């Protein structure tokens, strides 16, 4: 119940295309859902986050879609650029304020 399942494991998108990464969870006590971006040799950096009382949040080219009834949330990257190539992690915060992380998606944007 503490798992966050992330897919796909890897993704290749053409420059200018839309990148979509999906996550699913079981624990309805999760109350905060962040997405992190990690470049090689760097620690994860917060990209965008959403709370379960909102169905969508947009920041620039990045959008989180949240489906509370399906217990799923996804990250959409519009107009994907080569600089977006990185590993993306979804996470969920539990009732102890601990983040439970997905396994990550390696995104490659082809020029």
Partner 1 sequence: DAGVTQSPTHLIKTRGQQVTLRCSPKSGHDTVSWYQQALGQGPQFIFQYYEEEERQRGNFPDRFSGHQFPNYSSELNVNALLLGDSALYLCASSLDWTGVLDEQYFGPGTRLTVT
Residues binding partner 1 (CB under 8 A)? 4, 6, 32, 34, 41-46, 49, 89, 91, 93, 96-99, 101-104
End-to-end CA distance of the chain: 39
For tokens 């915060």, name the residue.
93
CB contact at 8 A, 91 and 76: no
- Distance in angstroms (rounded) separating the CA atoms of residues 17 and 89: 20
Tell the smallest beta-carbon distance from residue 46 to partner 1 (Å): 5
Tell the smallest beta-carbon distance from residue 76 to partner 1 (Å): 20
Coil, strand, or helix at residue 42? coil
Tell the smallest beta-carbon distance from residue 111 to partner 1 (Å): 25
For tokens 């990690």, name the residue.
38
41 versus 83: smaller Cβ distance to partner 1: 41
43 versus 111: smaller Cβ distance to partner 1: 43
14 versus 98: smaller Cβ distance to partner 1: 98
């Amino acid at each position: 119940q503490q798992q966050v399942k992330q897919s796909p494991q890897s993704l290749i998108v053409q420059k200018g295309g839309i990148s979509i990464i999906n996550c699913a969870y079981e624990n309805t006590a999760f109350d905060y859902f962040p997405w992190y971006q990690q470049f090689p040799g760097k620690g994860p950096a917060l990209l965008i986050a959403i709370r379960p009382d909102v169905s969508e949040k947009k920041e620039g080219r990045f959008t989180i879609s949240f489906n509370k009834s399906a217990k799923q949330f996804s990250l959409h990257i519009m107009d994907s650029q080569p600089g977006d190539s990185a590993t993306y992690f979804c996470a969920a915060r539990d009732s102890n304020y601990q983040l439970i992380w997905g396994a990550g998606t390696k995104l490659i944007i082809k020029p």
